[in-house]
Amino acid sequence: MQNYMTHKGCLMKFLQCALDDAHPQPCGRCANCRGKGLPSSVSSELVVAAENYRKGASIPIAPRQMLPAGIFPDQKRKIPPELLNETGRSLCYYGDAGWGTLVRASKYEQNYFSDDLVDAAARLIGEWKPEPFPVWMTAIPSLRHPTLVRSFVERLSTRLGIPFRPVLVRISDALQQKAMQNSSMQARNVLNTLGILGDIPNAPVLLVDDILDSG
Ligand SMILES: [Zn+2]
């Protein structure tokens, strides 16, 4: 989109090339062909409206249906229905113009997710109304950033009145998931690195993490 905005030639031809059209042609009608060019600035009202639109649009997380190849060789790869997660939600795409920029700065600069993000997540869950509604919540622990997600979930838990139970623990460190080349490598990377502490309540749970990689 940024290249489109600064493109000097025909904008239709630009799109045709982007979509692999074998015979892209200048259109003679677009803003550049007519010599007007695209606007170089937009009103701040429009910027705010666009940001609010992005901030209000949560992103569904489809549950993983299949185990990665070769992880449990003597087991079917299709995950049985009773073990499937429900569809989840993400607040934003990493670095996007909604909450994504704040998430990135919070994680890598402040090492703290602000109360604005707690409010946004609480609002998301209120509007989403997951079925069944979570009775407790827990978080994916991290050895690299032990307080980052934990502090976020503790505040979110208080905010929503849903108890937080830290039942998951890291028993050994994993490499970062983003360094893995495919989902089989990601699955092997985390296999046996998580342990369970205490009793797991037999009730719907909301599992919270800061970034979705392998799912
Ligand atoms: Zn054109």
How do the domains of the chain map onto residue ranges? 1-40, 44-208
Task: Report the alpha-carbon distance of residue 189 to residue 200 in Å, rounded.
Answer: 24
* Omega before 132 within 30 of 0, i.e. cis: yes
Distance between Cα 45 and ligand 1 center (Å): 29
Distance between Cα 25 and ligand 1 center (Å): 8
Residue numbers in the chain where pLDDT is lower than 50: none
Q: Would you state the pLDDT for residue 145?
A: 86
Distance between Cα 91 and ligand 1 center (Å): 37
Contact (Cβ atoms closer than 8 angstroms) between residue 60 and residue 88: yes
Distance between Cα 49 and ligand 1 center (Å): 29
Query: What is the distance, to the nearest Å, from the Cα of residue 140 to the centroid of all Cα atoms in its chain?
Result: 14
Q: Would you state the pLDDT for residue 174?
A: 65
Distance between Cα 35 and ligand 1 center (Å): 9
Q: Would you state the pLDDT for residue 182?
A: 76
Task: Report the alpha-carbon distance of residue 177 to residue 153 in Å, rounded.
Answer: 21
Question: What's this model's pTM, rounded to 2 decimal places?
Answer: 0.75
Distance between Cα 36 and ligand 1 center (Å): 11
Distance between Cα 5 and ligand 1 center (Å): 13
Q: Would you state the pLDDT for residue 172?
A: 76
- Of 110, 65, 62, nearest to 90 by C-alpha is 62
Q: Would you state the pLDDT for residue 208?
A: 96
Distance between Cα 20 and ligand 1 center (Å): 17
What is the tens place of the pLDDT at every residue in 153-208?
999 999 999 999 999 998 876 667 677 777 777 777 777 788 899 889 999 999 99
Helices 148-160, 115-128: axis angle to 10 degrees equals 50
Phi, psi values for residue 136, rounded to 5°? -150, 165
Q: Would you state the pLDDT for residue 47?
A: 84
Distance between Cα 42 and ligand 1 center (Å): 22
Helix (H, G, I), strand (E, B) or coil at 207: strand
